[in-house]
Amino acid sequence: MKSKTTHSTLWGLRPNERLTLLILGDLLAGVFALFFALYFWTTGEEWLEFSWKFLQTRPDPWFYFLPIIWLLLLIEIYDVHRASRWKDTLRGVLLAAVICLGIYLVIYFTSTPKSLPRRGIAAFIASAILLTLLWRLLYIRIFTAQPFIRRVLMVGAGNSGLTLVRMIKTLTPPPFEIVGWVDDDPQKIGTEILGYKVLGGHSSLLNLIDDESISDLVIAISGEMNGAMFQAILDAQEKGISITTMQSVYEELFNRVPIFHLESDWVLRGFGEQARISGFYELAKRFMDIIGGIVGVLILLVIFPFVSIAILLDTGKPIFYYQKRLGKGGQPYNIIKFRTMVVESEKDGKPRFAQEHDTRVTRVGRFLRKSHLDEIPQFVNVLLGQMSLVGPRPERPGMVEELQKNIPFYRARLLVKPGIGGWAQVNFGYAGTVEDTATKLEYDLYYIRRRNLFLDIIIIIRTAGAAIGLRGQ
């Protein structure tokens, strides 16, 4: 048994509370950076003076939105686990600064000469880097310390509990401290499972909460719970203990749905109630698709001559690749992409998973995939209403038929339109096996359950960042 630790859990932070804290701290850093940038703008210029009149007349309105833009550029390090690691934080902040500078330089050199500020932007980027790094270092040193870590008892040492604990053990630093297990199986009590001792059954629960300073119970009991355990959990809740299910913790920590540990009634609730999206969202999403589709088609017209020549010189015709995919409700349609594989890559007619280092990919195709330029023709599918900017990636009919035999709830992906970019794509690479496909499905179902405009915008920004950083596959 682990040595007993007693400390107050009053300040224990949950993942969503940590995320809010990170956003507020970064926003405050951005606001201070904006102030320093405005003040530095006037330094060294005799005809300028830092005053209210200067703030009203000299900077353009967009300049005051720099703190919000900075937050959006930091989106890759709003994962609370990455935010707790200094190397990931440093890499994310510097990458955000490089992207910010790159975007500004493009706008600066394509705008009217001397129409945009240089001193102000330089001061903002420098200040934002310094202040954000100082805040993030403070966060790592203080808010990942022991007083801010919640202490958890796992109720149920069965399959679902083991799955959750195994995944938690892969996270560094851990999201909370697991004190041990509670289970009514007499053969388990006193044993150690995955490095944590089974401390007792339902009769010991309230005493364990007091003795071990427990803040949370995670319920990982599959099937029907016995009445005595249920009553003990209710008593714990009355004492102010936070009660959470394994499925909720899994979603909160990993932004995925645990498809192999779902009850049928949970699925009905999840997709019968939570997946009902307001008419405003659907209307706004379609409007965003139309605007994005028009922009995408314009980009397609610009790059088409260059991409087509590269493909022709590399491997000849055809330039485009058409393939039947399943859309919303299982309706088939032809997806359009720039060809990235050799002709007749599936000579036997059998569909295959795309691999990370697929030998069927051509030299030009490899670059097109890295930059996501091969996806640009799909904006035509978006304008036609067959696809959306954001959604699960479309799959071939034959693959869907095979995968739904081995992966539960696989056809649930067809509840929404497929997308050019998706939650699974920005969080996971290519699915080369059935196991990988199951993981991607967990991300897709998470998106379907929780989709909203804000999440769509986050996915679009992260997809664009992957394209700019050549992180496609």
For the stretch 203-219, pLDDT in tens is: 999 999 999 989 999 99
Residues 152-176: what's their mean pLDDT?
Answer: 92
Confidence at residue 469, expressed as pLDDT on a 0 to 100 scale: 60
Residue 4 CB partners (closer than 8 Å, separation 6+): 211, 212
Q: How far apart are CA 295 and CA 254, in angstroms?
A: 33
Confidence at residue 125, expressed as pLDDT on a 0 to 100 scale: 93
Confidence at residue 182, expressed as pLDDT on a 0 to 100 scale: 95
Residues 415-439: what's their mean pLDDT?
Answer: 88
pLDDT tier for residue 184 given thresholds of 50, 70 and 90: very high
Per-residue pLDDT reduced to its tens digit, 81-91 = 888 889 999 99
pLDDT at 410 over 60: yes
Residue, of 472 and 424, whose pLDDT is higher:
424
In the chain, where the domains are located: 15-143, 150-254, 279-343+353-468
Per-residue pLDDT reduced to its tens digit, 296-349 = 999 999 999 999 999 999 888 899 999 999 999 999 999 999 998 887 656 555
pLDDT tier for residue 186 given thresholds of 50, 70 and 90: very high
Confidence at residue 207, expressed as pLDDT on a 0 to 100 scale: 94
Residues 288-299: what's their mean pLDDT?
Answer: 95
pLDDT tier for residue 195 given thresholds of 50, 70 and 90: very high
Per-residue pLDDT reduced to its tens digit, 230-274 = 999 999 999 989 999 999 999 999 999 998 887 766 656 665 555
Per-residue pLDDT reduced to its tens digit, 94-110 = 989 988 888 888 887 77
Beta strand extents in 209-295 (DSSP E only):
216-219, 242-245
Across the chain, mean pLDDT equals: 86
What tokens were used for 233? 């959990």
3-class DSSP state for residue 191? coil
Q: Tell me how far CA of residue 35 lies from CA of 126, 169, 373, 387, in angstroms.
A: 12, 42, 39, 43
Q: What is the pTM of this model?
A: 0.81
Which class would CATH give 150-254? alpha beta
Confidence at residue 7, expressed as pLDDT on a 0 to 100 scale: 43
pLDDT at 147 over 60: yes
* First-to-last C-alpha distance (Å) of the chain: 46
pLDDT at 4 over 60: no
Between CA 367 and CA 372, with CA 369 as vertex, the angle to 5 degrees is 110
Confidence at residue 76, expressed as pLDDT on a 0 to 100 scale: 83
Residue with tokens 């195994």, as numbered in its chain: 166
pLDDT tier for residue 462 given thresholds of 50, 70 and 90: confident
